[in-house]
Amino acid sequence: MDLVHLGAEQLLVLASHLTLFFVLIFILFVLQRSVFFLSTRLFDGRIIYLSAWIGTPIHELSHAFFCFLFGHKIQKIVLFNPDQRGTLGYVTHSYNNRNLWQIMGNFFIGIAPLFGGLLALYLLTYILLDNAASLFQLLNSVFSVKATGTFFSQLFVITTNFTDFIKQAYFTSPVKLLIWCYCCAAVSLHLSPSKEDLKGAWFGFFIFLLLCLSVMVMNQLLGWECFFNWKLLINSASVLYVIGIVLASLLLFILFVLKGLLSIFIRS
C-alpha cells in the first residue's frame, strides 16, 4: 500500500475516533453555556462564583503551562479576579511570529483547559472515590470494543453505566461522593476554551492534524502502536468528558428546578 492510500486510510480512522470525542466536547460546551445563562437569569450570575473559584484557576494555569511549554513569554497571570465585564481570570502572553514552534503553540495554548481540566477530573476521581479504577474500566470498556451503533448510542450506554456507579458510590460514602460531584462539576463548567482563547489557533490545529497522521502512518509502517497508543488516550479522555457531562447536566437540572420553584413562589 502506498503512502497516499495509507494516509487516507489513517485519516478515516482518526476521524472515526475523534467524532465522539468532539461531540462530547460540544455537549459539555452547550451545558456550560446553559448553566451560565440560567445562573445569570436567577442570581445575576454571581452563583457561578461557586464553581469559578475552583475551575477558573485550573483553566488559567493550563494556559500558563502550555505557554511555558511552547516558549511563549508570559506577561501576566490572573487566576481568579471577577470584574464587571464578566472576566474571571486571564493569561497574557507574547511570542515570536517567525518561530513555527511558537506559532503552533497557539493552538495548544488555546485548548489547554481541555487537558488541564481532564487531568484535574482524573486526580479528583482517584483521590475522592474509593472504587475509581472500576469506574474508568467500566466506562472505557464501551470505547474499547467496536461500536455497533452511532456515537449517540455509545453516549447513552456510558451515561447509564456511570449513573449506576454513582448510585452505588452514594451508599458507600455519600460525603465523599458529594464533595467529588461538587469539585468535578466546578472543573467541568470551566473546561471549554473561550473565543479569545482560540484566536490565532487554527494554523496550529492543521499542524497538529498533520503530526497525528504522521504518527499513525509510522505506527502502521514500523509497528509503534505499543509505544504510542493514541486510541487509548482518546478513549480515556472521552471517559473523563462523560463524567463532566453527567455532573454538568445534574447541575443544570438543579438550576431548572430552582427556576421553577422561584416562579411558583413569585406567583403565589
pLDDT tens track for 182-206:
888 888 888 877 777 777 666 666 7
Q: Are 211 and 7 in contact (CB under 8 A)?
A: no
Of the chain, the percentage scoring pLDDT greater than 70 comes to 68
| Rounded-to-integer distance, Cα 165 and Cα 178, Å | 14
Alpha-carbon separation of residue 42 from 28, 246, 261 (angstroms): 21, 22, 11
Q: What is the mean pLDDT of residues 107-130?
A: 86
Q: What is the mean pLDDT of residues 35-63?
A: 82
Q: What is the mean pLDDT of residues 146-167?
A: 65
| Rounded-to-integer distance, Cα 188 and Cα 125, Å | 13
Helices (H) then strands (E): counts for the chain? 9, 2
Contacts of 37 (CB under 8 A, 6+ apart): none
pTM of the model: 0.76
Q: What is the structure's pLDDT at 64? A: 93
Answer yes or no: is pLDDT of 7 > 60.
no
Q: Are 218 and 155 in contact (CB under 8 A)?
A: no
Q: Are 218 and 64 in contact (CB under 8 A)?
A: no
Q: What is the structure's pLDDT at 49? A: 82
| Rounded-to-integer distance, Cα 167 and Cα 84, Å | 40
Find, among 45, 58, 35, 43, the residue nearest to 248 by Cα.
35
87-110 as b/e, with b when 16 or more CB fall inside 10 Å? ebbbbebebeeeeeebbbbbbbbb
